[in-house]
Amino acid sequence: MAPPLSSQLAWVRDSGALPPTATRLPIHFGPYELSECIGRGGMAQVWKGKRRGCAGFEKQVVVKTILPKLVGDARFVRLFTDEARLSAQLLHTNIVRVHDFGFVGRQPFLELEYLVGWNLKELWERVTARGQRLPVSIAITLVTAICRGLAYAHSFVDDAGQHRPIIHRDVSPANVMICRDGSVKLLDFGLARLTRGETLHVDMFQGKIAYMSPEQMEKGNLDRRADVFGLGTVLHELLVGRRLFGAGDDAETLRRLTQAEIAPPSSLNPDVPAALDVITMRALMRDPDERYQSATEMLAVLDDLSTHAASPKRLLAYLGSVGPEIFSTACDGCGERLPWGIECRSCKTLLDDDGDCELVEEIEELGVAETESIALASSPALTLRPRPSALRLRALAIASGLWVLLALLWAQLWPRAARHALRVRGLGRRAQLWWRLRRRR
């Protein structure tokens, strides 16, 4: 049974820590009203909540706090404070934004932007549960966006103009957010470190084993190439549809990481192009000297594969087919549910100029099974109507043009014809008058 609300408030007031997640919600924490615990790790927990202000101001936010049992540990408080100080400097489209940092009692907190969507782990699990793989074009698009955020961190320049590379140290699917508008954000810089040179010495085993680099396991000197290995692991798993190093226990995961042979993705997925094979395998080299030296270098070669990547509209279409409950919305005009950013076929609420391709055809091109596409098109949760054919649109345009041309010709010819008729009529009257006068004489 959850403790009464009075004991929760006393907990926050006396210890400065949030009560356990099993307590009654919402919880009032400083200026925030926390409504749901949406994540919990070994050091911190993440809450969904609202920030309230004067004159009815209200904003949906995410609040990150240290676990209650660690509030009194100065070392973890210092790590949390370092994360806040570092994250506040990162301003990039592919990195989650930090809005505020402070203390409520002795409890430090971070206010982060609120993102609606799935993390990459949730998307991958939904797809693999269907017995499918992510389409190669979708995998390229997602990994390129992650790499772009990492490249910014790897080439970070501080306010003094000094080059200060940031090493994330925990690149994994759980730390990548895919928002319902198709944007991709790199999360959780809790283990990241701002270096004063090119390397960072670590004396603590931190991160997810299945995505660590071999040198990270040795707790020695790390540099940006450790993040490249983690990103290569993510890329390989997205292309193949199964875990690369992860196993049932840490010992087996460690053995695979250090000893197991890594198969090229194309050997397990024939849709993978040879160029992507080369990129993946180089990122996964166990010798750091043989890898890409930073995410910036890896991004340059990924950008060369832009022709194989999915467009923003195709990414939205695919996300809507996999998770319509998250990645679709109701049309304001007719109420039908459609993927975010996709035009409503019945009322044209959102206009685009993407040609005549139908959404179902685009989804089939992305590799979704035919039965899935048919189900998507006929599902009451996500109804898609066909777009008028190009031939019909052209015929309407030609007919409209002819009507406009006829109207212009009539406007030009009518005054001339009218003047001519009046002139002829005037001559006739003069002739009649002359004839009458002549007969009288």
- List, for residues 413-427, the tens digit of each pLDDT value: 766 665 565 565 565
Same domain, 318 and 275: no
Same domain, 321 and 263: no
Residue with tokens 């024939």: 270
Same domain, 281 and 161: yes
| Average pLDDT of the residues in 316-331 | 85
Q: Is 73 one of the annotated active-site residues of the chain?
A: no
Same domain, 265 and 335: no
Examine the fold and report which residue of 81, 113, 145 is the final residue of a domain before the chain moves on.
Answer: 113
Same domain, 225 and 95: no
What confidence score (pLDDT) does residue 210 get? 87
What confidence score (pLDDT) does residue 169 get? 85
Domain count of the fold of the chain: 3
DSSP 184: E
| Average pLDDT of the residues in 36-45 | 84
Judge contact between 49 and 31, C-beta under 8 A: no
Same domain, 232 and 247: yes
Catalytic residue among 82, 159, 170, 303: 170
Q: Could you tell me if residue 169 is left (phi over 0), alpha (psi between -120 and 50 degrees) or otherwise beta? A: left
Same domain, 302 and 247: yes
Same domain, 163 and 277: yes
Q: What is the DSSP string of 81-102?
A: HHHHHHHTT---TTB--EEEEE
The CATH number that applies at residue 53 is 3.30.200.20
Instruction: Identify which of 345, 338, 301, 294 has the alpha carbon closest to the alpha carbon of residue 320.
Output: 338
pLDDT tops 50 at residue 373 = no
| Average pLDDT of the residues in 363-380 | 43
pLDDT tops 60 at residue 341 = yes
- List, for residues 243-272, the tens digit of each pLDDT value: 998 877 888 888 888 888 899 999 999 999
| Average pLDDT of the residues in 75-79 | 87
Residue 1 domain flag: no
Per-residue b/e over 355-389, b at no fewer than 16 CB within 10 Å? eeeebbebbbbbbbeeebbeebbeeeebbbeebee
Question: What whole-number distance in Å separates Cα of residue 221 and Cα of residue 203?
Answer: 9
What confidence score (pLDDT) does residue 219 get? 66
Residue 374 domain flag: yes
> Cβ neighbours of residue 103 under 8 Å, at least 6 residues apart?
16, 109
Residue 437 domain flag: no
Same domain, 302 and 390: no
pLDDT confidence band for 353 (50 / 70 / 90): very low
Question: What whole-number distance in Å separates Cα of residue 74 and Cα of residue 388?
Answer: 65
Residue 51 domain flag: yes
Q: Which tokens in the block code for residue 93?
A: 């489209």
Residue 227 domain flag: yes
> Which range has highest mean pLDDT (97-101, 231-235, 407-411, 413-417)?
231-235
Examine the fold and report which residue of 291, 308, 325 is the final residue of a domain before the chain moves on.
Answer: 308
What confidence score (pLDDT) does residue 1 get? 37
Same domain, 179 and 324: no
Domain carrying residue 251: 117-308
Q: What angle do CA 239, 242, 246 make, to 5 degrees?
A: 125
Same domain, 355 and 304: no
Residue 436 domain flag: no
Give the full edge-to-edge strand order of the sheet including 107-113: 27-29, 32-40, 44-52, 58-66, 107-113, 98-104
Q: Which residue has the higher pLDDT, 203 or 399?
A: 399
Judge contact between 104 and 16, C-beta under 8 A: yes
The CATH number that applies at residue 231 is 1.10.510.10
Examine the fold and report which residue of 245, 276, 308 is the final residue of a domain before the chain moves on.
Answer: 308
* Amino acid symbol at 128: T
Q: Which residue has the higher pLDDT, 328 or 190?
A: 328
pLDDT tops 90 at residue 370 = no
Residue 426 domain flag: no
Helix axes 225-240, 120-129, angle to 10 degrees: 20
Q: Which of 101-110, 360-369, 377-386, 412-421 has the lowest mean pLDDT?
A: 377-386
Same domain, 209 and 353: no
Q: How many CB atoms lie within 10 A of CB 38?
A: 11
Residue 6 domain flag: no
- Three-class SS of residue 340? coil
> Cβ neighbours of residue 290 under 8 Å, at least 6 residues apart?
282
